[in-house]
Amino acid sequence: MRTDNDRLIARALRAALVLSLVLLIAGPALAAGYPRRIAVAPFESLAKEDIGSTVAVLPRLMASRLMALAGADVLLLPSSTKSPADAAREAKYPLLLQGTVSKLGKGYSVDAVVTDLAEGKSAGAFFAAAATEDDIIAQLGILAGEIAEKVFGVQGAVRAVSPSPVIAAPVVVPSTMPAPVVAPSGGTVLTSQSPAPAAGAAGAAVSGATTLSAGWIPSSITKVSQSDRVPEEVHGIVTVQADADGNGLVAAYGIKTIYLYQVKGNEILPYTRIRRPLDHHILNVDAIDIDGDGEKEILVTDLVEEQVQSFILKRNGDIYEEIADKIRYHLVVLPDWKGKPTLVGQYQGVDSPFRGKIVALRWDGKQLVPGETFPHDTTIAPLWSGVLGLSSARFGNEWRLMYTDVESVLRVLTPDGKTAYKSRKRLGSGIGFFEWGPYVEIEGRRKQFLLRMPARVARGSGENPLVMITEVKKGLLDLVGGSYDTTRLILLHWEGEEFLEKAGTQDASQFISGADFLSPSDFRKGGRIVASVIEQQAIFFKDAASRLYVYKVE
């Protein structure tokens, strides 16, 4: 009579043989170039031995490798009674990856099948052999490389993955694993900006580095080009789209106009302009993919007289069209919150422009709807002054908000909204104002609020974030809010319990009002950044003038 173990081995051998034949037959015809959105189901163990701790962590490791190799948006599906295919369809992910680990003699077979849910057919079958349980982790990298190349069309991905060193200790899921981001289906959403998850015991690192590419830290910022003259004070800039070489589309904004520019190599060229009527005042422009189609929408926080009427622009061919308007939230994109970019908002107030808690916002196909409420106290300093200047990053094993306060001090906040760190320098100060509240007769205007620049976070920073922000220097007798002596752009790296400057531009008399990274994936040596610079303020009968600068970082 055959034993249970014999049946398991026979089953695993048949599965491996079938998958091998499928791979050999279908390999040349695998459809490279699928949308880079994939759901990963929990792996199944077919081995009699207890390797549950290893198998449990494989989906996260697979996700981190697909993000690193292909820039994929990955949804980790939970164990549930709902089928993985149904959960992935509900979350609108077109691909599903399911894997098994089988014992073959003294070794193991790691098998994965990717299913095209729209067509109901296989998008590829893959397997790798591991000599020991510890070797499973190393072989997973090879497996992920094949998937990235043959499903997503990332050429050279297999060759880019080398086997990891053998891990002496058994793999366990650490108790400090970050809290999951819950998707509509109950899964965990990871994107190419997500930090690589920890997976090894006793200090064994099996995931990506916690600093930038190859441990590189920047040391210089050099200007390489500038745009034509913009006849307005430009108060900020954001990268809308960028390719692997840093070419793409950026959006800079003044009070009533959004300027779209294309970056091609070292050139920055005008693309189009979007103007608003005279009674509008643009406070902030951000970009995020809200509907999951792979292209970012432009989100504009707009003030109309004394009402927040934010709106969303979506690309349609060569133009951008409004798909939602009169949104009463001040909108901000957090670059990295629990492993992914997150849109948040704060509702407009009465006596002050901001009211209530910070909430995560999601797109339901027609409008933005509130979701998770952040625990941070917005009734005390520093967050009482609103979400302008808000950013976020991963610090060690937790994600924290970063905030440029009304005094232009960069702060890292605790989960309840108090200050865990504050900068010694004035960072992120704006030069523009907006008005809100009751009319003050003695001043002849409403109360003024100063715009503030959020810290930008470089992709690939991991748990030691690299951030970019402007330093604003003021003279001892300069007591007027919004005025300055010099500004410069700086890159700060989190080391220990503080930010340390690693690179910066020279002090300049022009006002650097905003900056962003030109990078869709990990920021690396030779990467570029784009900045908005006010060269002349509209004072003393002089017309305002601004330009966009492109910098290279070494």
Examine the domain organization and report whether 171 and 269 are in the same domain: no
In this prediction, residues 372-383 reach a mean pLDDT of 95
Predicted local confidence at residue 375, as pLDDT: 96
Which residues, 6 or more positions from 196, have their beta carbon under 8 angstroms from its beta carbon?
Answer: 64, 67, 68, 207, 208, 462
How sure is the predictor about 60, in pLDDT bands with cuts at 50, 70 and 90?
Answer: confident
Q: What is the CATH number of the domain that holds 380?
A: 2.120.10.30
How sure is the predictor about 129, in pLDDT bands with cuts at 50, 70 and 90?
Answer: confident
SS (H, E, C) 439-502: EECCCCEEEEEEEECCCEECCCCCCCCEEEEEEEECCCCCCCCCCCCEEEEEEEEEECCEEEEE
How sure is the predictor about 214, in pLDDT bands with cuts at 50, 70 and 90?
Answer: low
Examine the domain organization and report whether 177 and 252 are in the same domain: no
Strands 368-373, 419-422: pairing kind: unpaired
Examine the domain organization and report whether 323 and 403 are in the same domain: yes
Examine the domain organization and report whether 141 and 228 are in the same domain: no
Lowest average pLDDT, out of 96-105, 133-142, 474-483, goes to 474-483
Instruction: Pick 272 or 65 by higher pLDDT.
Output: 272
Which of 164, 191, 208 is the last residue in one of the domains? 208
Q: Where are the alpha helices (DSSP H) in 91-184?
A: 135-150, 157-160
Between the ranges 55-64, 157-166, 478-487, 489-498, where is the mean pLDDT highest?
A: 489-498
Predicted local confidence at residue 334, as pLDDT: 97
Predicted local confidence at residue 322, as pLDDT: 95
**What six digits make up the tokens of 366?**
């027609």
* pLDDT tens readout for residues 30-41: 344 688 899 999
Is the pLDDT at 308 greater than 70, yes or no?
A: yes
Examine the domain organization and report whether 223 and 146 are in the same domain: no
Domain count for the chain: 2
With H, G, I as helix, E, B as strand and everything else as coil, classify residue 90: helix
Examine the domain organization and report whether 299 and 164 are in the same domain: no
Instruction: Pick 327 or 177 by higher pLDDT.
Output: 327
Predicted local confidence at residue 465, as pLDDT: 94
Are 335 and 320 in contact by the 8 Å Cβ rule? The answer is no
Is the pLDDT at 190 greater than 70, yes or no?
A: no
Is the pLDDT at 204 greater than 70, yes or no?
A: no
In this prediction, residues 133-138 reach a mean pLDDT of 81
Is the pLDDT at 517 greater than 50, yes or no?
A: yes
Predicted local confidence at residue 251, as pLDDT: 98
pTM: 0.63
In this prediction, residues 195-200 reach a mean pLDDT of 37
Which of 208, 234, 254 is the last residue in one of the domains? 208
Examine the domain organization and report whether 51 and 173 are in the same domain: yes
Instruction: Pick 82 or 365 by higher pLDDT.
Output: 365
Predicted local confidence at residue 263, as pLDDT: 94
Predicted local confidence at residue 205, as pLDDT: 31
Examine the domain organization and report whether 52 and 173 are in the same domain: yes
How sure is the predictor about 172, in pLDDT bands with cuts at 50, 70 and 90?
Answer: very low
Predicted local confidence at residue 357, as pLDDT: 96
Per cent of the chain over pLDDT 90 is: 54
**What six digits make up the tokens of 405?**
């306060």
Q: How many Å apart are CA 520 and CA 542, to the nearest integer?
A: 38
Which of 185, 208, 231 is the last residue in one of the domains? 208
Examine the domain organization and report whether 181 and 224 are in the same domain: no
Order of strands across the sheet with 498-504?
456-457, 466-473, 486-495, 498-504
Residue type for 390, please?
L
Is the pLDDT at 178 greater than 70, yes or no?
A: no
Closest CA to 88 of 16, 10, 181, 183: 183
Examine the domain organization and report whether 237 and 201 are in the same domain: no
Residue 427: DSSP 8-state: B
Residue 424: DSSP 8-state: S
Residue type for 336, please?
D
Predicted local confidence at residue 10, as pLDDT: 47
Strands 329-337, 319-327: pairing kind: unpaired
Q: Which helix (H) or strand (E) holds 535?
A: strand 528-536
Identify any residues that bridge with 467 across adjacent strands, giving them in sequence order. Answer: 457, 492
Q: How many Å apart are CA 405 and CA 370, to the nearest integer?
A: 25
Instruction: Pick 481 or 311 by higher pLDDT.
Output: 311
Lowest average pLDDT, out of 27-36, 258-267, 300-309, 445-454, goes to 27-36
* pLDDT tens readout for residues 460-504: 888 899 999 999 997 654 545 557 889 999 999 999 899 999 999
With H, G, I as helix, E, B as strand and everything else as coil, classify residue 278: coil
Examine the domain organization and report whether 192 and 310 are in the same domain: no
Examine the domain organization and report whether 44 and 103 are in the same domain: yes
Instruction: Pick 375 or 17 by higher pLDDT.
Output: 375
Is the pLDDT at 79 greater than 90, yes or no?
A: no
Is the pLDDT at 521 greater than 60, yes or no?
A: yes
Between the ranges 63-67, 246-250, 358-362, 440-444, where is the mean pLDDT highest?
A: 358-362
With H, G, I as helix, E, B as strand and everything else as coil, classify residue 417: coil
Average pLDDT, the chain: 83
417 is in which domain, residue-wise?
A: 214-553
Predicted local confidence at residue 162, as pLDDT: 39
Q: How many Å apart are CA 213 and CA 282, to the nearest integer?
A: 36
Q: Give exposure, 164-193, as e/b (b: 16+ Cβ within 10 Å).
A: beebeeebebeeeebeebebebebbbbbbb
Q: Is the alpha carbon torsion for 344, 346, 348, 352 positive or negative?
A: negative
How sure is the predictor about 106, in pLDDT bands with cuts at 50, 70 and 90?
Answer: confident
What dihedral angle (degrees, nearest 10) is formed by the CA atoms of 436, 440, 445, 449? -40
Are 160 and 33 in contact by the 8 Å Cβ rule? The answer is no
Order of strands across the sheet with 410-413?
390-395, 398-404, 410-413, 419-422
In this prediction, residues 99-107 reach a mean pLDDT of 85
